[in-house]
Amino acid sequence: MATTAEDVRKIALSLPDSSEKPAWGMPTFRVGGGANGKSGKIFAALADDDTSIGVKCPQEDRAELIAAEPEKFFIRPGHDDNYAWLRVRLAAVEDAAELRSILIDSWRQAAPKRLAAAHPELDRPGPKGPVTAA
């Protein structure tokens, strides 16, 4: 079962201190803005055509993920080369549990340390664990 942009929105907004804010003409999901009116850090961005998402991923892990599952993971050459981001094709994500795992891993990388530490239940999301190496 392919996942959708609505699945992304539902899961992303269910994570602690997460919000949605448009940027660059697309929905982005942020963590850590809190009640102080700040925007927070982006942990996911939906493509303008709703077919993929960008998520945080250490650059040293990207090549391995892309090589293992090129139908699912990719970068946009010339755009993503110098950033710790990875693109995920929603049609290739198995189910909501896998999507949740991907989003939680990205959320943990963007979340303030204190907030992430307050949510140990998000350390190992689901049976597959996080997308990137711990």
| Residues 4-13 pLDDT 10s | 999 999 999 9
CB distance 97 to 11 below 8 Å = no
| Residues 18-75 pLDDT 10s | 999 999 899 999 999 766 667 899 999 999 899 999 999 999 999 999 999 999 999 9
| pLDDT over 70 (residue 126) | no
| CA–CA dist 42, 32 (Å, integer) | 9
CB distance 42 to 61 below 8 Å = no
Question: Would you state the structure tokens that stand for residue 84, as one six-digit string?
Answer: 């710790």
Residue 127 belongs to some domain of the structure: no
Closest C-alpha among 44, 61, 70 to residue 132: 61
pLDDT tier at 130, thresholds 50, 70, 90: very low
Residue 131 belongs to some domain of the structure: no
CATH number of the domain encompassing residue 27? 3.90.1150.30
Q: In total, how many domains does the chain have?
A: 1
Domain holding 108, by residue range, is 5-122
Residue 91 belongs to some domain of the structure: yes
Residue 129 belongs to some domain of the structure: no
